[in-house]
Amino acid sequence: MFYALKIATRYLTANKAQTALLVTGVAVGVFIFIFMSALIGGLAEFILSRTVGDISHITIEAETADPALLISPEGHVLVVAERGRTRTASLAEAATWLPLIEAVPGVRAVSPQITGAGFLMRGAQVSQVSVTGVAPGRESAIIDLDGYMVAGDVRLGSGLIVLGGDLADDLALSVGQTLRLQSSNGVTATLTLSGIFETGNGGMDGASGFVSLSTARTLFSMPQGVTRIEIKLFDLNAADATALRIRALTGLDAVPWTDGAEQLMEALNAQAQTGYFLKTFALITIVIGVASALLLSTYRRRPEIGIMRAMGAGRGFVIFVFVMQGALIGLMGGIMGAALGYLSLLPFPSRDAFEPGTLPMDIMQGSYGLAITLTVIGAILASILPARSAARVDPVTAIGQ
């Protein structure tokens, strides 16, 4: 069918202005498709990074065990067992699980933690604080604490604490000053403020503090184990699958971030569907444009089609000539639109550098290959009707025109 391809190419090049206009129309449709893909994808990425970017993607928490029954269950005694409220549940064998979890594909960082509540005291001032003990070197494994530091540094050593900016302001604290922290277990420690962070999250900046894991062990009377393990993934969309894998591997109750984030997921899905609609409309525009242009071409070339049929060209040959025209228009328009889309997205900041006030375009989510493929398929489908119409041309009538 090389010859049909040659004729299709010749027809397209015979009227360069018309073909250029048609290809440009297709390219604009593809450009809109790519622009919308980058915008919707970038927006979703932006929202996710702002909402769940600084949280654990998978969390394993110690389950509070019921107290053991000392009465034999064979007796006729009614027992009411109340779950302990003061004892802190722990993952005693966390050290065993950590290397296994770190080896799971897709896992970027693992942070064993001891968490608890306490009171910060400085002079007569007292503030409630949520304390997280993290292992040395893993301070920024989950939340980018290092990036949020506004004073001091994130280094957590023995006797050091890092606080949120609002909390430090409430207590009129500055880096290097000392304060007392009393844990919910009643243990009090004197700590030095080594750094202040501001995440922009009011709850976190006003009531959170980070200490070293060893300091947390003392504060919460936990000589071994941890209360939770937080896991960060390379792809937060893989949280569900990775959580299942970790659960199967360790038997621990690994909970992905998507549990309890139904509203966010619904919003993102609604946004994605809006994008699908817009992209579908762009494709429909392409299909209608190509179909109408080729129908016109079919009508204009009726006498030539009649001659071809008289000279022995079969209906299949004629169909192929017009379908190839559609495919070539789709391919050229697709590549041109994809190139335009890519070039127009270059000036936008990368996904890691989104700034307030700029459109969160993600050049990596332009769906270039998909746009070209769908455009070629759409253009081929659009050309079938004109091609069939061309194949039905009666050579006798057409030659007489």
Which residues contact another protein (rule: CB under 8 A)? 1-4, 6, 10-11, 14, 303-304, 306-315, 317, 395-396, 399
Token pair 């030095």: residue: 192
The three-state DSSP-derived secondary structure of 180-226 is EEEECCCCEEEEEEEEEECCCCHHHHHHEEEEEHHHHHHHCCCCCCE
CB-wise, 3 or 234, nearer to another protein? 3
Smallest Cα–Cα separation from 254: which of 91, 84, 132? 91
CB of 26 to another protein, least distance (A): 22
CB of 304 to another protein, least distance (A): 6
CB of 105 to another protein, least distance (A): 50
CB-wise, 57 or 309, nearer to another protein? 309
CB-wise, 66 or 394, nearer to another protein? 394
CB of 8 to another protein, least distance (A): 11
Report how far residue 105's alpha carbon sits from residue 241's, in angstroms, rounded to the nearest whole number: 11
CB-wise, 20 or 288, nearer to another protein? 20
CB of 52 to another protein, least distance (A): 58
CB-wise, 11 or 97, nearer to another protein? 11
CB of 10 to another protein, least distance (A): 5
Token pair 């915008």: residue: 39
DSSP annotation of 346 reads T
Q: What is the DSSP string of 102-121?
A: HTSTTEEEEEEEEEEEEEEE
Smallest Cα–Cα separation from 275: which of 27, 39, 31? 39
CB of 335 to another protein, least distance (A): 24
3-class state of residue 130 by DSSP: strand
In sequence order, what are the residues at sequence separation of 6 or more whose Cβ sits closer than 8 angstroms to the Cβ of residue 294? Answer: 322, 325, 326, 382, 383, 386, 387
- CA angle in degrees (0–180, nearest 5) for 393-395-396: 125
CB of 386 to another protein, least distance (A): 18
Residue pair 215/189 in contact (Cβ under 8 Å)? The answer is yes
CB-wise, 242 or 325, nearer to another protein? 325
CB of 20 to another protein, least distance (A): 16
CB-wise, 14 or 95, nearer to another protein? 14
CB-wise, 96 or 397, nearer to another protein? 397
How many other CB atoms are there within 10 angstroms of residue 344's CB atom?
16
Report how far residue 314's alpha carbon sits from residue 240's, in angstroms, rounded to the nearest whole number: 56
Report how far residue 222's alpha carbon sits from residue 297's, in angstroms, rounded to the nearest whole number: 81
DSSP annotation of 308 reads H
Amino acid at 295: L
CB-wise, 317 or 342, nearer to another protein? 317
Q: Which helix (H) or strand (E) holds 163?
A: strand 160-164
